[in-house]
Amino acid sequence: MADARIVLLPGDGIGPEVIDAASQVLEAVGSEFGHSFRTESHLIGGIAIDETGDPCPSSTVAAAEDADAVLLGAVGGPKWSDPSAKTRPEAGLLHIRRELGLFANLRPVTTWSALVDASPLRRDIVDGVDILFYRELTGGIYFGEATESDDRTTVSNAMTYSVHEIERIVRMAALAARQRRGKLTSVDKANVLAVSRLWRSTTDRVMREEFPDLEYETVLVDAMAMHLLSRPKDFDVVVTGNLFGDILTDEASMLPGSLGLLPSASLGDGGPGLYEPIHGSAPDIAGQGIANPLATILATAMALRHSLSMPDEAHAVETAVERVLDSGMRTADLARGAPYVDTATITAAVTTEIHPG
């Protein structure tokens, strides 16, 4: 694909700053590899509420549906945190995921050799970690029926999954495991939750009937939370539901040392994917020019690989990030008291290192 249309959703907080870095990376890739990326920005999150009253306007959804890929910064912040508000910025993110049919959230957790000592865990535990999480994205408790008593003293949220929803995410994760190290770990809470018992029985059947060549295990979510800190190198591809995946991947983000290093991709059966860093909007540092753009830059690499069929270009971006980190350059979140560079400086360093081959 020599010509691609990319929709940018900067959002709130540091979102516009890291999306600007992604735009510069796309420009560098286009220049080095002879591609033309057409980008256009649209509203989502708190800024969309301020300007339109809707956290995800219909114009944003329409633009995203026509795009080849979508890059998102971050949404939310204290300005929109009133619990009595009619809507919240995060509703915009859930809405666009649903409208685009994005049911699989891919979150790679990889430790960079130059940053092994930045992790709060021992070097021997984290050195060599390479986990790919598949989090189911459009089912479970985040999308289940919510109830609230008239006096607001009792509330509930339903965790609901169908066999079809479980099958499709497990198949996608298992196919990825075939291309990696051949091991799939499914995480549930089958000893307590009926919905997890359906998850386990469905996953067991799919793996037995369709993927007998893979090494397969099931782990309870509470045990998995411990294993991620004690033996993370034992895991290859991990598949789990929406709630568990959300929590476990944030925990796993500490393995490489910072949320600022972790990208994610949200994919469906077809159409554009949505690519974003897993960190939030960081309103406390917004506008200061010190945000770490590397997660968003790596999310851009995922977009090149998964939506634009440009694996060489994706590898070039990832290699550029690795070279910059190997050079000793650090943003504030990685510096641990040492000198650090601003967003613009590290972005420029990455774009300089992007080359074919």
Domain limits, the chain: 1-103+260-357, 130-254
The per-residue pLDDT for range 48-74, each reduced to its tens digit, is: 999 999 999 999 999 999 999 999 999
Strand partners for 41: 8
Angle subtended by helix axes 163-178 and 194-210, to nearest 10: 50
What are φ and ψ of residue 146, in 5° steps? Answer: -110, 140
Highest mean pLDDT among 40-49, 76-85, 114-123: 40-49
Would you identify the CATH topology of the domain 130-254? Answer: Isopropylmalate Dehydrogenase (3.40.718)
Q: Which positions ≥6 away from 208 have C-beta within 8 Å? A: none
d(CA 39, CA 303): 13
- Count of residues making up the chain: 357
Instruction: Give catalytic residue positions.
Output: 142, 189, 222, 246, 250
d(CA 98, CA 152): 28
Q: Is 146 exposed, middle or buried (0-12, 13-18, 19+ CB in 10 A)?
A: exposed
Same CATH topology for 1-103+260-357 and 130-254: the answer is yes
pTM of the complete model: 0.90
The per-residue pLDDT for range 139-173, each reduced to its tens digit, is: 999 889 999 999 989 999 999 999 999 999 999 99
- Look at residue 2 and tell me whether its pLDDT is greater than 70: no
H runs (alpha helix) in the chain:
15-33, 46-52, 58-65, 89-99, 123-126, 163-178, 194-210, 221-230, 242-252, 294-306, 311-326, 332-335, 343-352
Structure letter (DSSP) for residue 159: -
Q: Tell whether domain 1-103+260-357 is in CATH 3.40.718.10.
A: yes
H runs (alpha helix) in 84-236:
89-99, 123-126, 163-178, 194-210, 221-230
